[in-house]
Chain A
Amino acid sequence: MKLSREEVLHIARLARVGLAESEITRLSEQLSNILENFEVLQQVDTTGVPPTAQAVALQSVMREDEVVPSFPADDILANAPRREGDCFRVRAVLE
């Protein structure tokens, strides 16, 4: 299991994480080493075994659809790096 430079860049793009040049090399080595150690997983016979997403037996918890007060806009926007009125200011998506 060896992760190439191209694969590292592909994953970084999917995750939208920028990487410095030194990080690309280091991650390629480290992720390859980690995944190599995890290949033991493929030895386990899981024929007919369902996957588990979480360990609690609860299913689709429902509640009444009641109107409750939300947080004041100012409280939520207080942490915004860029704000315009009662909105988060974002950069143009389409250029």
Chain B
Amino acid sequence: MTNIQVTINEASRLLREKQVSSIELTESYLERIRQVDSRVHALVTITDELAMEQARKADELIAVGDAGPLTGVPIVIKDNMCTRGIRTTCSSKMLQNFMPPYDAAVVEKVKAHNMVMVGKSNMDEFAMGSSTENSALFVTCNPWDLSRVPGGSSGGSAVAVAAGETVCALGSDTGGSIRQPSGFCSVVGMKPTYGRVSRYGLVAFASSLDQIGPLTQDVTDCALLLNVIAGADSRDSTSVPEPVPDYTRCLKADLKGLRLGVPREYFVEGMQAEVAEVMEAAIKELEELGAEVDREVSLPHTPYALAVYYILAPSEASANLARYDGVKYGFSYEADSMWEALEKTRENGFGPEVKRRIMLGTYALSAGYYDAWYLKAQKVRTLIIREFNEAFKKYDALITPTSPTVPFKIGEKTDDPFQMYLSDVCTLPINIGGVPAMSIPAGFTDGLPIGMQIIGKPFDEETILHVAYAYEQATEWHKRKVEV
């Protein structure tokens, strides 16, 4: 059987024209998973029974003409989004056997649109990492070069899309966890504005930075999936009641009248020359499409974003992860005394990076250090947000690389946490600012993908989708598929 490989848009048309059934489509993707997942290791759980059940239901709806644009389309969900009755591990020993009693808001929406969930994807433990090497379960490989990392923390979702194990996926992004793996795997990934998508049922990492978003094969699919997941939710009081447009309406092929800025601070010291070259070519393309590009933009507080992020995110994480006490759910260490059981539960249930961040955050919040670290970082966060606001008075969107390098080798940065943190340097300022951004395929060097990041105004995902779509129409990068 040859695998059917389609985008959401193509699947939707084939299903509606009854050229293929959702059962056939789903079987084909499950077969592909069986063929390639033993090499790329993207999935923690393959939900084949549920998928076939959902596919049968989708086919019934299609038969009676009651199908939406995403009915019957396979999707993969990152394993930090709760799925009722299906193990949700966060790729942690702490939650290895956790069965959520409810669905995350985004999972409810995916189900309400009658999509077909084929699996849950591997990630850095509790979404803390930039390579998916921090998974306590196994390491995911980049399909473009199996000896390299796929990026992280949504590495499994990005790989599942790139390797054709699914049509699309959901990931979460706290400091780049959708965009950086999207760039590393040559797929399209968006972190929407903070508050655009409900976080209800997303296992919390850093609550003021976490946001769920789509990973897809092209920009049209990104818009289609964003249509499904966007919108306020009374169970997440940080989700914002802004109207949700139809995101497919902003997809236009020319950029006339748009003002784009290229902030020079994102072209960091140590950036790979090939990344800068790819960016130069991409920016020229955007100009040819009619955009007015200013290459001399400066956002001078950008270099402080790394420190701000790695103070604030661990601080929030140290508070959020206090809930893992071995009492209500999750790993529990057997000991006689309560304190010993608690400390041993956390010693053995958390992996090294999670412990490192809990320690870092606890330190930054502790008496005597709170003002110098946590409060200082919160103030510099204000300055970074102000800079974005100022820039967006002049520019409709900002253009940067997604990552300063191509995917690195598995094991290359695991001994030096600070070097690992640096690989998020272009993506973290966006979460600090709460603004939306996406990564799209922009080129290759030696067969390894390079992503371009497009940053937009709060709640203006439409403009970044517009820029991304126009660029995609004019280029072929997104059509290059990997052999696994």
Chain A residues at the B interface, C-beta cutoff of 8 Å = 3, 7-8, 11-12, 14-20, 23, 27, 30-31, 33-35, 37-38, 40-42, 44, 46, 49-56, 58, 61, 63, 71, 75-76, 78-82, 88, 90-93, 95
Contacts and interface: CB of A to CB of B under 8 A. Distances in A.
A42 B372 contact: yes
B378 A51 contact: yes
A44 B383 contact: yes
A11 B366 contact: yes
A18 B165 CA distance: 39
Contacts of B407: none
A78 B378 contact: no
Interface stretch (B64-72, B127-135, B338-346, B461-469): B338-346
Contacts, number: 163
Q: For the side of the interface on B, what is the size category?
A: 35 or more
A91 B347 contact: no
B311 A41 contact: yes
Contact of A95 (B328, B337, B366): B337
B372 A82 contact: no
A19 B355 contact: yes
Contacts of A40: 303-304, 307
11 contacts: A14-B366, A16-B342, A44-B304, A46-B382, A50-B379, A50-B382, A54-B208, A55-B434, A58-B240, A71-B102, A91-B335
Interface of B: 98-99, 101-102, 194-195, 207-208, 234, 237-238, 240, 301, 303-304, 306-308, 310-311, 318, 322, 326-330, 332, 335-339, 341-344, 346-348, 350, 352, 355-356, 358-360, 362-363, 366, 372-373, 375-383, 385, 417-418, 421, 432-435, 458
Contact of A17 (B208, B329, B341, B358): B358
Contacts of B318: 15
B332 A56 contact: no
Given A11-B359, A51-B378, A18 B194 contact: no
Nearest to A75: B101
A52 B385 contact: yes
A19 B347 contact: yes
B92 to A, nearest CB: 14
A41 to B, nearest CB: 5
B359 A91 contact: no
Interface of A is mostly: loop
A83 B83 CA distance: 23
A52 B348 CA distance: 34
A49 B383 CA distance: 8
A34 B364 CA distance: 12
Contact of A93 (B335, B338, B385, B417): B338
Contacts of B359: 8, 11-12, 15, 17, 27, 31
B356 A90 contact: no
A30 B356 CA distance: 8
B432 to A, nearest CB: 8
A76 B327 CA distance: 12
A58 to B, nearest CB: 6
Lowest 9 A-B CB distances belong to which pairs?
A: A55-B434, A18-B347, A51-B378, A79-B329, A81-B332, A18-B343, A46-B379, A38-B307, A54-B208
Given A17-B359, A55-B194, A90-B327, A46 B101 contact: no
Contacts of B194: 54-56
Nearest to B338: A91
